Amino acid sequence: MSVFKLHLPFQPSGDQPAAIEKLQQGLGKPSTLLGVTGSGKTFTIANVIAAQDKPVIVLSPNKTLAGQLYEEFSLFFPENKVCYFVSYYDYYQPESYLPAQDIYIAKETKINDEIERLRVEAAASIMQRKDVIIIASISCIYSLGNPQDFKEMAISLSVGVKIGRKELINKLLSILYTRNEVDKRSGTFQVYGNSIEIHVPYQKKKKLRIELFGDEIESISWIDKINNNVLNLVDQEVIFPAKNFVTTEAKKRTAITSIKQELQEYVATLENQQYADRIQQRVAYDIEMLEQTGTCPGIENYSTHFDGRVSGQAPYCLFDFFNEDGFLLVIDESHIAIPQMGAMYKGDKARKKSLIDFGFRLPSAYDNRPLKFEESERFLKNVIYVSATPGKYEAEHSAQIVEQIIRPTGLLDPIIDLHSRTNQIQNLVEQINATSAKGFRTLVTVLTKKMAEELAFFLEEKQIKVCYLHCDLKTPQRTDLLQKLRLGIFDCLVGVNLLREGLDLPEVAFVAVMDADIEGFLRDRRSLIQIIGRAARNTESIVRLYADKVTPSMDFAIKETARRREIQDTYNQEHGIIPTTVIRDVTTSISSLSADIAKSSKYLQKQAKKEIKLTAQEMQYQIVELEIAMQQAAQKLDFETAIALRQQWQLLKSKL
């Protein structure tokens, strides 16, 4: 019997029932769901998940798509545990050395505390229950703490158990909780006489209170963080570590001995005395830090010594936290994710080679790494690959390929037309204005970041509300721009390949592909089909390819789109379906939007005191901003601000 309870907003239709049945029958073996944009692939996968009883990992190629999937699966499975596991770095500059310039670049990071909390929540949830769906980015194949240590170091408490206050405090400190009476953030605890309150990372809205009577646990209760009401009393509870990386004192001592031995052996192989002195000084400092504080900068580079792994052995990752029964793995946009899984190890090794060769790191640093692809393959048994354009690997390694061409909405694939590069910009401006006049949006794809910026600046001079989007913009900024595009703050968005996979933008009715006839990664058949798919959620959508010739990739994309359009049209006529544009509410992602919204709460408070006449779109945008500012104020415990924002939010919601 399934442990998942699916909330059905509607019944499966079109190709979905057949696809669901085939994928359910194929569970336990690799399958591929070839689903066109807008056919409801996520809904199909949700139905498959609901029919089985294993925990699930949904793997996404980036944070933006992971955030979107988190929203969707949270709506499908509100009674089950949906978790979010992505890289917790808002900013990450890896440690590196440039031999030609003799420049050493130290590791620099900015950690997002909320995402770090969510990672610990995911690990703890896997240990506690089966009805877990982890939405993860590709970073989940990176080295993670030992799951056995994470489980064994958890503190099991029961009412009536003999344990002193000091002993309990020391146990909490040993699993990386910190005592802080002022900043009551995740991973901290406070002591009030014989009562200890613990802010466990895997519970966002409640804290655990342990009350002692002498050297005995008198009661264990979960408390509401905001108003301190007792939510429920329990007889026993398990407190998992505050961090994924945790180890015992015995393992720490063993690791230090092992590090000293590796240092001695490695120094003997170095012919350059400067490099030998450098590595000795650096490792001696790290060992002293480990002995005194239990950690050191770059401690992850000594992971083999703490884990007891031999050189070359696969590191622990999120996959290892599941029990022997395994899990169902869903790889979204697999044509991107699979190549990523193959490339991550090689890139990491190339960076570390210079650090090791020139005396900055010991050779064991090589083993702090992501999985090699062949190591990842052992988890690709009970797997479903999901893509509108599956790659060669999926085709060769799937027991079945299930097509999902028909959209329940009846939407046809967009009309594709060609336009010469002659006067292409003038034509583009005219089409953007015509699209905006209908109340819809435009996407323009170009080949380089510089072209995206220059074209956006040119369109802005033509009085078009435009922005550009490329990889230099951080994930929260990208999310913010996409929200503003949907809300009509912008009419046009110019970008490179970030405009392709997985973006759900039903307001887009015109997609322009500049330089469509330049064959390459960004204009091959797979990329073109993905780009065309961005216009497949609107009945008035048009895709225009600006080109002077028809390349083989263009020809394939045009013919494949025509084939899919014909299949859908035939289905519509047989069932009397009139195509309708997708309508989807603009919701906030799990990631915060841009940082400037965080600074807008004072402005919004001032606006709350004024009577301002707003259009429906402006109200919707204000509501999004108010929700975000309200959440951020609450997280900072600035409840006066949060209440003022909430009043304005309620007022706008009622008017809308």
415-575 sits in which CATH class?
A: alpha beta
Vertex 495 angle, CA 350 and 386, to 5°: 70
What DSSP state is assigned to residue 312?
T
Q: Are 510 and 442 in contact (CB under 8 A)?
A: yes
* CA–CA separation, 408 and 571 (whole Å): 10
* CA–CA separation, 472 and 363 (whole Å): 32
Compute the Cα dihedral for 458, 461, 465, 469 and give only its sign: positive
* CA–CA separation, 325 and 135 (whole Å): 19
- Per-residue pLDDT, 484: 81
- Per-residue pLDDT, 591: 43
**Residue at 237: amino acid letter:** E
- Per-residue pLDDT, 613: 56
* CA–CA separation, 471 and 497 (whole Å): 9
> Helix (H, G, I), strand (E, B), or coil: what is residue 222?
strand
Largest CA distance in the chain: 86
- Tokens 């899984």 map to which residue? 341
What DSSP state is assigned to residue 537?
T
Tokens of 334: 């697999």
- Per-residue pLDDT, 606: 43
What DSSP state is assigned to residue 229?
-
What CATH number labels 155-239? Answer: 3.30.2060.10
CATH 3.40.1010.10 fits domain 16-142+313-404: no
- Per-residue pLDDT, 596: 36
- Tokens 């415990």 map to which residue? 637
- Per-residue pLDDT, 647: 73
* CA–CA separation, 366 and 58 (whole Å): 28
- Per-residue pLDDT, 311: 86
Q: How far is CA 345 from the centre of its chain?
A: 20
User: Cα–Cα distances in Å, from 180 out to 162, 169, 197, 220?
Assistant: 25, 12, 11, 20
Sequence ranges of the domains in the chain? 16-142+313-404, 155-239, 251-299, 415-575, 595-655
- Per-residue pLDDT, 610: 42
Vertex 26 angle, CA 23 and 28, to 5°: 120
- Which ranges of the chain have pLDDT less than 70? 1, 89-92, 109, 470-480, 497-504, 582-621, 624, 628, 631-640, 655-656
Domains 16-142+313-404 and 415-575 alike in fold:
yes
70's enclosing H/E stretch is helix 63-76
513-537 burial: b if 16+ Cβ within 10 Å, else e: bbbbbeeeebbbbbbbbbbbbbbbb
- Per-residue pLDDT, 427: 94
pTM given for the model? 0.77
- Per-residue pLDDT, 473: 56
Q: Are 387 and 32 in contact (CB under 8 A)?
A: yes
Please report the DSSP string for 120-167 in residue order.
Answer: HHHHHHHHH-S-EEEEEEGGGGB----HHHHHHTSEEEETT-B--HHH
Crossing angle for the helix pair 601-608 and 639-655, nearest 10 degrees? Answer: 60
